[in-house]
Structure 1
Amino acid sequence: MPLTGRNFLTTQDFSRRELEQILATAVKQKKSGWKPLRSRPRLALLFFNPSLRTRSSFELAAWQLGGHAVTLQPGKDAWPMEWREGIPMDGEAEEHVKDAARVLGRFFDAVCVRCFPKFQDWSVDRQDSMLHAIEKYAGVPVINMETIVHPCQELALALTMKEKMKKTEGKKFLLTWTFHTRGLNTAVANSAALISTKMGMNLTILRPPGYDLDPMFLDQARKNAKEQGGSVAVTDSIDEGYRGADFVYCKSWGHLGYFGNWEAEKKVREPFRHFIVSADKMKKTNNAFVSHCLPMRRNVKMTDEVADSKRCLIIDEAENRLHGQRALLTHLLA
């Protein structure tokens, strides 16, 4: 089933069969190697926000496929950009996406975008407007490197689970909130909910009261679960969450009710430091694997004892960013 020329904005745009195609290519390339693409893919990597693994893995994947990636940081080494239509551009932005995206589309075979929420108004940020504006005007495939979801992280997580668990259907996937010193993007948590249910797992979301994900993503997860034979549950009980889990995925995210008012949210968040992933909690599981997308604050999100254990897959998942994205580029840009 050819995937050439598709955008990769969210895994929800792809069937499970299509995602399995990409994962199968990742497994094959990781085991047996890969060949450069005849297209020698040229990638524009637009980073509105910092990166270590995403930037490194995309630049390396492009090179391994015989192509080249150019990294641009709007507001730093590239002009600040505006996505809103029909407004006087008398603020900080020097360039409109309508122009920038079309130029990049002439230069490159794909445009990859990382653009976090502005953390001021969730009703605005949840529209993912910058990403969709670039998609509208680029004229070439657009790949989401993390906005309000992180589909490339989903590929790495799915690949890691397939390698370690062999079968994901019917397994309990615990997505647990963990403390952080500040309110964070919900993107990876949204994505973990989406990919686990896409793979037929029984998702349990453990979070303190009030720290629910946006209903838009919970509804998508429930739809996935219905289609793939899984389930979705939400709890604030640590015992209930960890009990019998086969895979534990931890992530911090901010309270949407305090979105943009993080000083007030800090007071709400502070009592829940005990949500840290620890050895005593892991003993409640079904000898579960545990992972995190990185970067991770040790002994805040996860204890050293767990992070350095044989069941922790943070490094394997990080490595699989490269294999998953190289496979993705192989399919989209063949």
Structure 2
Amino acid sequence: MPQGAPRSAPEQQSLQQQQPARREQQQRRRRRRRRRRRPVPAARSGHVQAGLGAAASPPPSDVFSALRLHLPVSARARGCLPCLAVCPCACDSVCPPGRSSDFLTAYRSVCPRAPLPQVPLTTSPSLSRRCLHFLLLCFQVQVLAAEENVDFRIHVENQTRARDDVSRKQLRLYQLYSRTSGKHIQVLGRRISARGEDGDKYAQLLVETDTFGSQVRIKGKETEFYLCMNRKGKLVGKPDGTSKECVFIEKVLENNYTALMSAKYSGWYVGFTKKGRPRKGPKTRENQQDVHFMKRYPKGQAELQKPFKYTTVTKRSRRIRPTHPG
């Protein structure tokens, strides 16, 4: 129908009937817009896991960068942080396009043994608050997962580095027989050699335990000088053995020989040549015969450790009860 042409009576009547429906539809749209613009109180902004509380203000940008560092490396290697997959404000710079997945699926893939979170995804209209809820929840889950995979070896290494001044020291007296020179280690004041005969007074060593990690301090009984290794790897004797250079780690090898590795310079061992001269630490290796020693008691000293005694155990016989005549 051309514009400006008069409308017929049926058309005008149908338009009048449609106007109230259009007005009502417009009013509904206005109400929805007002609800979206209206600020939601903290009590209605969605349920958060117990102990976290509701967010009162949008989180700063450094919160996302700080919490992102606590996620495991295995999760980052997948190409997208699973805990931030539903959060565009914190995931735009991390997740490549097309890699974001459902939150519950990612949550279950990272923490399979943890319970599912009770956090609704659509209760809070504020995107920043919803992101903060997910970040806090994931941070708490990652802490729990880290506590389950505690490595006790780290604790042992930290304790062995620290010196134990509280525990009672254990002193042992023996000789160290060198495999290459065929003699015993001697502490001749500041000079160290491996030319001592069996029972020599300079070859008698007092071995003092330092920590529970097989760390010992070796002192000559006659000279009272400690066996130490300086920063160049040279074996020297020092009157004061409190330095870390005078601490060695005992290693029992597969061939039942003992190797002494420096506690301060890892990989440097106490070693001697065939003529009994000390070798420098950087030139020694664990599999070399120059660093292999055997503990021997001094000549004429009774062994402190008693040998094992084997006792025969017989099966207990059944006891026969005496029969009394009736």
The TM-score, its normalising length taken from structure 2, stands at 0.22
Structure with a larger share of its residues in helix: 1
Which has the higher relative contact order, 1 or 2, with Cα contacts under 8 A spaced 6 or more apart? 1
**TM value normalised by structure 1:** 0.22
Pick the structure with greater CA Rg.
2
